[in-house]
Amino acid sequence: MPEFVLAIDAGTTSVRALIFDSQWNISGRGQQSLSLTSPQPGLVEQSPVELWEDTLSVIHRSLDQAQLVAGDIAAIGITSQRSCTVVWEKSTGVPLTPIISWQDLRGVQRAQELTELGFPQFPASSACKLEAAVDSIPDGRSRMRQGELCWGNVDTYLAFKLSGGTLYATDLSQACATGYLDFETEQWNKVLIETQGLDLSFFPILVDTAAVLGDTDPSILGASIPINAIVGDQQSAAIAQDCQKPGDLKITFGTSGTCNVHTGTNVVTIPGTYPLVLQRQGGRTDYCVEAMIITAGAALDWLGTTLGIQEISVDLDSFLTDTTGSESVLLLPALQGLGSPYFQPEVIAQIAGLTLSTTRKQIVYSALEGIAFRAREIIEHIEKSNDVPHLRTINIDGGLTRSETFTRILANAIHKPVSVCRHPEAAALGAARLARQADGTTSLEPLRQHSLVVKPETEMKPYYDQLYNRWKTQFQLQDLVTHRETV
């Protein structure tokens, strides 16, 4: 039996194909940037044709680099960005709308309307945009009722295309981000669908995260390959880091920071976070809560451009050599408002404590501390909930975690050991892992070999406790918490 597994990771800015061997080493990879367009202010779209063509291209590149053919691949796992919306023709697979990004704001008013009707929604969710997408198609409602149309997030679209139209499905980790999933029944919310004048038959079938879901059309890749996993990107990254038990936590530090905490087999609601399905396998559904640090790595990107220090994007640790700390500088990373637990979009980024002797390195160091303190806020907020088990492990991944300086600051700031995922493609790794589980492969190399544990320095606890309290006081964050909790 072939030992290689192919993971497709369709993100917001790029699509990647990675081939893993049985030791979870990358044997081949292909990557292609994806363009985002904004035809009007607030609208964010992508081309489904470009996504499909680029997906095929990166798959072939990964096979070529690994010196393999499609028949050498045992299974495929698909992971992707969530909450996007695209409609296509069922008989041909031809897209009839652009991919409406999760970043798109056309659903803001509809989110408010649906919430008032008793269907709480975030503007990013597909439930706030699907009606408009269908109505943009000539005779869209009529064609939808006649069964001529399909819709989905990019995971569903890619699975449909790869299978030649035989696999029209999504898993619960993706479905829960659409706004259409009924958490109690784990089925599509029929009442919401009927309220919007849509048909249940228009929706993809709901499947397990890891299962033998279908096969690729041999005419597309040159072989029939089982498609064994569909999973949301953040949940996939958590699975890659063995977040398999209640209390396991992971934070992905990329442009933003996304925190997911395994909460067990029951839906848990914590103010300032939102519940999601982590995965469903073999009739068991695991849930998580998700919290957002809206500005993480983006703060460093902004500082690099503004201060003219592009080298921090190349080697942050080398830039900070001989820097002992931030001195008096404090920074609140909020270039796009504050996420969890406040959800205050009007809050702006701030820098305090500048003096004539302040250096660029100290400002960058303060940014790392500010990001770490935002993580500490979220962790402390979640720990206060009686519905979440004791946090077992703090797992981290993402581009920012390649910096030893940042991981040390983070461990000291939260005063907990952090397990750093040293695998460069956590989301893809999770999808690959799930795909092999689905085909019954049990002798899998443990994923923990790809982690490095960074422990906090005991002597630094008083310093970071004092600095954290000064940081919160400087930016009046306690006032935001009080305001949010009393509204």
Fold of 241-487: Nucleotidyltransferase; domain 5 (3.30.420)
3-class DSSP state of 420: strand
> What whole-number percentage of the chain has pLDDT above 70?
97
* 64-91 residue pLDDT tens: 999 999 999 999 999 999 999 999 999 9
Average pLDDT over residues 19-44: 94
The domain ranges of the chain are 4-224, 241-487
Average pLDDT over residues 279-305: 94
Specify the pLDDT at position 230: 99
Nearest Cα to Cα of residue 10 among 74, 69, 53, 44:
53
Give the distance, in angstroms, between the CA of residue 62 and the centroid of all CA atoms in the same chain: 23
Alpha carbon distance 305, 300 (integer Å): 9
Q: Which amino acid is at 349?
A: A
Specify the pLDDT at position 445: 59
Answer yes or no: are the C-beta atoms of 231 and 79 closer than 8 Å: yes
Q: Residue 436 class from Cβ within 10 Å (0-12 exposed, 13-18 middle, 19+ buried)?
A: buried
Q: Is the pLDDT of residue 256 over 70?
A: yes
Q: Is the pLDDT of residue 55 over 90?
A: yes
Specify the pLDDT at position 324: 86
233 or 447, which is more confident:
233
Q: At what angle do helices 426-438 and 233-240 cross, to 10 degrees?
A: 80
Q: Is the pLDDT of residue 486 over 60?
A: no
Q: Is the pLDDT of residue 388 over 80?
A: yes
Cβ count within 10 A of residue 368: 26
Report phi then psi at 58, rounded to 5: -70, -30
Look at domain 4-224 and name its CATH class: alpha beta
> What whole-number percentage of the chain has pLDDT above 90?
82
Q: Is the pLDDT of residue 336 over 90?
A: no
Report phi then psi at 465, rounded to 5: -65, -45
Average pLDDT over residues 359-364: 96
Alpha carbon distance 119, 413 (integer Å): 38
DSSP element (H, E) containing 396: strand 393-397
pTM given for the model: 0.91
Specify the pLDDT at position 481: 65
pLDDT confidence bin for 477, thresholds 50/70/90:
confident
Average pLDDT over residues 397-421: 96
Specify the pLDDT at position 2: 72
